[in-house]
Amino acid sequence: MIMAAELETMQMIETIQTEDFSDGDHTGQAEENGHAGKLIEYTACRSVPVIGMEVSCLALLDILRENPAAPCVVLVQNVGEVAGIIMREAFNRHLAGRFAAELYYDKPAAMFADPDTLIVDAANPAAEVLNKALLRPDSKFYDCVAVMDGGRLVGILTLRDLMELSRRLQKEADERSGLAVMKSSSGVARIGDSALQMAQEAAESAEATLEMSGLAETGRSRLEEVMYSYQMIAEQMKRQYEQTGVLERHIHTISGMASSIRSLADQSSLLAINASIEAAHAGGHGKGFQIVAEEVRKLAQQTRHFSEDIASLLGEIGSLIGENVALTQSSLREIEQGAVHIDAGSEAFSRLMANMENVNRRSQGLSRMAEDAAAAALQASEELGAMHMHTQDEEG
């Protein structure tokens, strides 16, 4: 009976050959094939004997003796369906007892198989497989893990294989972390350079603002000087306007006096005519008096002509004075409006100076902040570089 069971068992044993991925950069190959992170790309499966449901415990002992390196056997049912795993050590403990031969030799070895064996697919992510293995209870922590590929058993993974898988994943994570640290260090360095450039530009902006503030102060001073000149001109023109008014009143007075002179000239002319008439009545005795009367009449006519010339000249002067008064009033209005604009410009310069002082303070503050940021970025870059070197030393 034992010989028949052994023969049946030997017919069911399969030597499972799997491709060895232990050497070379398989992560790169996986990325090229489009399935990075799969279990099969990180570790090789181990070949172990496979038995059927009817194999006895005695036959399994012979199989394990013939395969001393096998940590377990895989129990299958139907067409390649994994029913469980029988671990060598657990099986040997059961059959090491005094009455083990009588109790178990003829019994199916399937009674010692673990029905809750962890079965994973070779296409599953390696990290996911490792996580499932680590989450197993303590009683099954050291059991092997069955690996399937499209419904076909390709082998098992031992605890040593899982540890090696964890080491490779950790190494890959460290490499990614190192690359990220290098990129971060480079990025932080660029940030530091940008911060230094920003600090320099802020300092230049502060200098330009100070220069503009000085120009604004100069402009405001010049406007104040122009404003003072406008005020002086306005005062002079006001005095001129007042003097023109006085002059106009004097012209009216002189015009009145010229009118009075003309009236006196008319009266003198009339008096000379009357004297001539009286001298004519007197005959020869009034001849001398008639001559005097004629001279008086001529003097009166000349006086009248002079009076008329004076009146005409006073009229022209009065007209010019009137035009001068109008021009003076218009100039005063223009000066007053100009003074308003100058005052508004001076106020605008004052506000501009205040704003520039505010901008200058902010530029100086921004420059200090940028310098602090550059210093912090430099320190962070140095720390990241030191971290990367430490990681490389640990890997070495």
- Mean predicted confidence (pLDDT) in 351-365: 78
Q: Are 74 and 82 in contact (CB under 8 A)?
A: yes
Q: What mean pLDDT comes out for the span 293-305?
A: 77
The pLDDT assigned to 21 comes to 31
Two tokens, residue 21: 């991925």
Two tokens, residue 179: 């690359």
pLDDT for 211 equals 79
Can you say whether the dihedral through the CA atoms of 281, 285, 290, 292 is positive or negative?
A: negative
Region 191-395: CATH code? 1.10.287.950
In the structure, what pLDDT confidence band is assigned to residue 2 with cuts at 50, 70 and 90?
Answer: very low
Q: What is the pLDDT of residue 241?
A: 74
pLDDT grade, residue 108 (50/70/90)? Answer: very high
Question: What is the C-alpha to C-alpha distance for residues 279 and 272, in angstroms, rounded to an integer?
Answer: 10
Residue 394 is predicted with a pLDDT of 60
* DSSP per-residue codes, 337-383: HHHHHHHHHHHHHHHHHHHHHHHHHHHHHHHHHHHHHHHHHHHHHHH
Residue 97 has pLDDT above 60, yes or no: yes
Residues forming a β-bridge with 157:
145
Whether the CB-CB separation of 35 and 123 falls below 8 Å is answered with yes
Q: Which CATH superfamily groups domain 2-157?
A: CBS-domain (3.10.580.10)
Picking from 320, 149, 321, 171, the residue whose alpha carbon sits closest to that of residue 248 is: 321
Tokens representing residue 120 in the block? 């994973």
- Quote the pLDDT of residue 387: 65
Least Cα distance to 82 among 57, 122, 118 occurs for 118
Closest to 316 measured CA to CA, from 395, 234, 249, 251: 251
Residue 26 or 215, more confident: 215
State pTM to two decimals: 0.47
What are 135-150's pLDDT values in tens digits? 999 989 999 999 999 8
For residue 269, what are the contacts with CB-CB under 8 A and spacing of at least 6? 297, 300, 301, 304
CA torsion, ordered 68, 74, 78, 80, to nearest 10 deg: -90
Q: Which letter does DSSP use for residue 40 in this model?
A: G
Q: pLDDT tens, 359-369?
A: 778 777 777 88
Q: What secondary structure does DSSP assign to 260-271, as a single string?
A: HHHHHHHHHHHH
- What are the domain boundaries of the chain? 2-157, 191-395
Q: Rounded to 5 degrees, what are φ and ψ at 184?
A: -65, -40
Residue 284 burial by CB count (10 A; 0-12/13-18/19+): exposed, middle or buried? exposed
pLDDT in tens, 56-70: 999 999 999 999 999
Query: In the prediction, which pLDDT does 31 show?
Result: 39
Q: What is the pLDDT of residue 55?
A: 94
Is it the case that residue 6 has pLDDT exceeding 50? no
224 pLDDT above the threshold of 60: yes
Q: What is the mean pLDDT of residues 72-100?
A: 89
For residue 120, list its beta bridge partners: 147
Highest mean pLDDT among 4-8, 50-54, 363-367, 368-372: 50-54
| 162-198 pLDDT, tens digit each | 999 899 988 888 888 778 777 777 777 777 777 777 7
174: Cα within 13 Å, side-chain hemisphere: 16
- 227-267 pLDDT, tens digit per residue, is 777 677 878 777 777 777 777 777 778 878 777 877 777 77
User: Nearest Cα to 363, choosing from 217, 201, 211, 216?
Assistant: 201
